[in-house]
Amino acid sequence: MALLASMQMLHEPQTQILLCSIILVLFIVTIFAHAFLGSQKLLSFLPESLQNYARFCYGCFIKPHEGRGTRDQKVALESFYKAQASVYDNTRTRLLRGREDMLGLVAAQIRHRVKQGIVPQKPIWVDMGGGTGYNVEQMQRFVDVPNFFDRVFIIDLSPSLLAVAADRFKRLGWKNVHVICQDARHFRLEDHYQSPLRAERYGEQARNRPDLITMSYSLSMIPDFYSVVDSLANTLSENGVIGVADFYVQSEIDYHSRNYIGGEINRHCMWISRVFWRTWFEVDRVSLEAARRDYLEYRFGTILSFNARNRMLGLRIPYYVWIGCSRDTGVSQAKLRQLDAAATESPFISALDRHGKSMQETKETREQGVRSKAYDSAVVNLASSLPLPSSWYQQHHWRIHFDEHLQKHRQFGNEYIYAFTWEDAHEDLKILDIQKEDVILAITSAGDNALTYALKQPKRIHCVDLNPNQNHLLELKLAAFTALGHGDIWKLFGDGKHDSFREILITKLSPHLSSLSFQYWLQYGPETFANHGLYFTGGSRHALNLVQWLFSVLGLKKEIERLCSAKTMDEQLTIWRRSVRRVLLNRLLSWAIVSNKTWLWKALGVPEAQRQMIEQDFARQSGDAPPLTSPVKGMERSENAETYREAAAARAAVVGPRNSGRAIWNYALNTLDPVVENTLISDENHYYLLTLLGRYTKRCHPPYLDARAHAKLSRPGALDGMRIHTDEVREVLARMQPGTLTIAVVMDSMDWFEPGSAELDEQVQLIRQALRVGGRLMLRSAGTHPWYISAFEKHGFQATRVAVRNPGTCIDRVNMYASTWICTKLSNAGDDVVSRMEPLNIGKPMQVI
């Protein structure tokens, strides 16, 4: 009974607190006894790990620091580290987080540069403040240090730490690692090593400049950090990489207006955090003032950065990892013009395509005066002696710079709406007949269709989306095709899950991502590709979750598996009619959930204006609504808008709240029944297979996930023509050279405009200006007779309805839209700027439906 009572007492919170307090007091007494008596026997009874932490606590918090009076940094550092040098690595593993991530990122960057031939095949690495050499040994996880690097130099001011490093590499037998006790301000590579062969092959500057510099929790311990950062900026090779991991604290007030820091996720620290951690670390002469990181970002260009918290003993210590390069890399006027031309399709890019990247800007280009927002931001920064925005320093220039601080981008939070694209790319290819000289503008969505277009190898694809997160998803896919094998790509985008996502993001994908995209996926990617997987994220997850929940509650999961594996249409129809249809096309479900305005927007991306088109079509087909007069023909815009609004109001009154559910149910009926009756889901309809299973299968998937597609898209340069714009379509069109697009695919985005809006008329004119003669715009609509088609006809387009969904028929494998249209530009007459391009060969006329 006494034993039982004792066990019960151990579960009492008061008892646990008392025991912890006793252990802590004994531990502190032991440390003080060791400090004042100096007897090693006092620690001998403790386990080795506790002995290590006892020495760590003694060296950090109890032992008096020397050198304060002399202001000698070397004496101060040696005083701090001498007592704990032998246990330094064992006691810093959990405290100094981010070191391995930083090493993985710089290793990926330098490997890529070696592969591209822009740094020597055997680069030189300087680990500044490298101490015990821990970083160099850990780098072996990412590259073969003895064979990959020509020389590795560990620079530090503490002889005790360097003695540990010397023993380490003697034990490992690495002959190319050199340990140097020197002030970081005075280190010059030429004093220790010169290679005429490097100078001959890579230029004279490569003789005495390192290709990689790293600093791991050392910048915060250097008093005169300005001169050290300046020295590093002057030392790093032209195409070299620098990586830093360190503690920090900072308020968003300091950095909010900067466009060159590579993203702000988790950078802000609360006031109490800033005060506490600055005070705490100052005890050990570690300075966390924001100026250290700020000056680093000012003197270099930012390639990648991220901010994190070290969760240790219930605390959250802020730290950052930053990867940079020379701020002058790619800043030449020729380079700026080249990248600007890639965003605007200026005539200069045609010269680049034909003659290479050495062509000079033409007089014609200067006179056009069309510049991208990225170019404008670069000019402003250069005029202010600031580094360029981080997008300019990327390995690939897919992502066009945008201002992440604007509310129009922040309105989406950190979520995309679509985790998969919901338009039938197979029909797009049949209708558009994409050729190698085509220049295409398309809505990004999840990027699936853009990658399908890329299989046809057109000259350029401009992907546009106002939601930055949709573009992060496309950028991740581009990076994956550039760096990963087909197996990893299938895990990511076929199964939607990858157990090692964080690892491959750092070691393989990071050189191919912009800093903003990298930050996003580091923050949200591990969770996205775990648990339920990619396709149960974003706004579209609500629809998938509802379907999964319904089938689970009703015990129909086995039926869904049978439906998705049916080998014949008869088998599929039998399963559909006996169970699945009763759930998905339930009137009560449609009225209560699916027809809800918020649900339609959040889960399916259907805005109010598009929902009204569905309801108005239903009213017209039912014969309950007055006819809708054309809003354009024979009227001025103000009259036309007013007339349309009156007719729309009359229709809305007829539909009303009671019939709204009927309209949506009828639309769903005309969508789903024909799909099941005309397409075999298990074999040829990956759109509905995904919504039912939450993943693709090797038998049924989008074209870009095929092994043959991977072979084509992963070839060097295969994706060089991709451009990702984070903006409204009209903003991108307004900054594009007139007459350069051959194809524009705007999906159902025209449905989003309010009837009679001036913005619609403006966008039609901008589309006309950007298209060359014979250029085509493809759109889908939830209406069979979209009100805005007449606006295209008014501005000189030939509008052709190439497909329409009649009751019982399929418009395509998705069958979600009521009609598909091609609007062809017939002439340049009336354009504000006359295109200098040759007209397209329009080919055979399309059949009007």
Q: What does the DSSP assignment read for 110-127?
A: HHHHHHHTSS-SS-EEEE
Say which amino acid occupies 846. Answer: M
Distances (CA, A) of 839 to 173, 688, 745, 828: 68, 40, 19, 10
Helix (H, G, I), strand (E, B) or coil at 504: helix
pLDDT in tens, 544-599: 888 888 888 888 899 999 999 999 999 999 999 998 888 877 766 666 555 565 65
Whether residue 468 has pLDDT greater than 80: yes
The reported pLDDT for the residue numbered 174 is: 96
- Of the chain, the percentage scoring pLDDT greater than 90 comes to 53
The reported pLDDT for the residue numbered 836 is: 39
- Of the chain, the percentage scoring pLDDT greater than 70 comes to 74
The reported pLDDT for the residue numbered 169 is: 94
Whether residue 459 has pLDDT greater than 70: yes
Least confidently predicted of 107-111, 312-316, 496-500: 312-316
Give backbone dihedrals phi and psi of 678, rounded to 5 degrees, phi first.
Answer: -125, -15
The reported pLDDT for the residue numbered 649 is: 45
The reported pLDDT for the residue numbered 516 is: 96
**Residue scoring higher pLDDT (752 or 690):** 690
The reported pLDDT for the residue numbered 39 is: 42
Mean pLDDT, range 85-112, rounded to an integer: 84
**Any residues with CB less than 8 A from the CB of 726 and at least 6 apart, and which?**
399, 400, 402, 409, 465, 466, 467, 468, 471
Mean pLDDT, range 609-617, rounded to an integer: 81
Least confidently predicted of 20-29, 92-101, 687-696, 793-802: 20-29
* Strands, E assignment, 187-276: 212-216, 241-247
Whether residue 32 has pLDDT greater than 50: no
Whether residue 364 has pLDDT greater than 80: no
Tokens of 790: 């007449």
Tokens of 378: 């670069």
Q: How confident is the model at residue 50 (pLDDT cuts 50, 70, 90)?
A: very low
Q: How confident is the model at residue 522 (pLDDT cuts 50, 70, 90)?
A: very high
In CATH terms, 95-326 corresponds, of 3.90.110.10, 3.40.309.10, 3.40.50.150, 3.90.226.10, to 3.40.50.150
pLDDT in tens, 814-849: 999 999 999 999 987 766 543 434 444 433 333 334
The reported pLDDT for the residue numbered 543 is: 80
Residue spans of alpha helices (H) in 501-607: 501-504, 515-528, 541-553, 557-565, 569-575, 581-584, 587-589, 597-604
Tokens of 193: 């090593």
**Residue scoring higher pLDDT (322 or 372):** 322
Whether residue 782 has pLDDT greater than 70: yes
The reported pLDDT for the residue numbered 754 is: 85
- For residue 295, the tally of other CB atoms under 10 A from its CB is 17
Tokens of 620: 């017209």
- Are the CB atoms for 256 and 247 separated by under 8 Å? no
Least confidently predicted of 393-402, 569-578, 656-665, 779-788: 656-665
- Tally the residues of the chain: 849
Angle between helices 347-355 and 333-344 (to 10 degrees): 110
Whether residue 3 has pLDDT greater than 50: no
- Are the CB atoms for 149 and 241 separated by under 8 Å? no
Whether residue 615 has pLDDT greater than 60: yes
Whether residue 102 has pLDDT greater than 80: yes
Whether residue 625 has pLDDT greater than 60: no
Q: How confident is the model at residue 244 (pLDDT cuts 50, 70, 90)?
A: very high
Please list, residue by residue across 60-71, b when 16 or more beta carbons sit within 10 angstroms of its beta carbon and e when fewer do: eeebeeebeeee
55-59, 336-340, 698-702, 787-791 — most confident range: 698-702
Mean pLDDT, range 784-802, rounded to an integer: 93
Mean pLDDT, range 719-742, rounded to an integer: 93
Say which amino acid occupies 845. Answer: P
Q: Choose among 31, 97, 98, 23: nearest CA to 60.
A: 31
Whether residue 627 has pLDDT greater than 60: no
> 610: burial class by Cβ within 10 Å (0-12, 13-18, 19+)?
buried
The C-alpha atoms of residue 600 and residue 546 are separated, in whole angstroms, by 13
Q: How confident is the model at residue 636 (pLDDT cuts 50, 70, 90)?
A: very low
The reported pLDDT for the residue numbered 373 is: 81
Least confidently predicted of 276-280, 345-349, 554-558, 708-712: 345-349
Mean pLDDT of the chain: 82
Least confidently predicted of 83-92, 580-589, 632-641, 775-784: 632-641
The C-alpha atoms of residue 650 and residue 531 are separated, in whole angstroms, by 48
The reported pLDDT for the residue numbered 692 is: 92
- Are the CB atoms for 177 and 145 separated by under 8 Å? yes
**Residue scoring higher pLDDT (599 or 724):** 724
Q: What is the largest CA-CA distance in the chain?
A: 101
The reported pLDDT for the residue numbered 666 is: 81
pLDDT in tens, 191-219: 888 776 666 666 666 667 899 999 999 99
Say which amino acid occupies 510. Answer: S
Tokens of 264: 């702000």
Mean pLDDT, range 317-321, rounded to an integer: 96
pLDDT in tens, 134-192: 999 999 999 999 999 999 999 998 888 898 999 999 999 999 999 999 988 888 888 88
Q: How confident is the model at residue 370 (pLDDT cuts 50, 70, 90)?
A: confident
**Residue scoring higher pLDDT (104 or 88):** 104
Whether residue 694 has pLDDT greater than 80: yes
The reported pLDDT for the residue numbered 587 is: 66
Whether residue 119 has pLDDT greater than 80: yes
Whether residue 495 has pLDDT greater than 90: yes
The reported pLDDT for the residue numbered 356 is: 42
Q: Where are the domains of the chain?
A: 31-93, 95-326, 333-384, 541-693
Q: Choose among 205, 175, 208, 204: nearest CA to 193.
A: 208
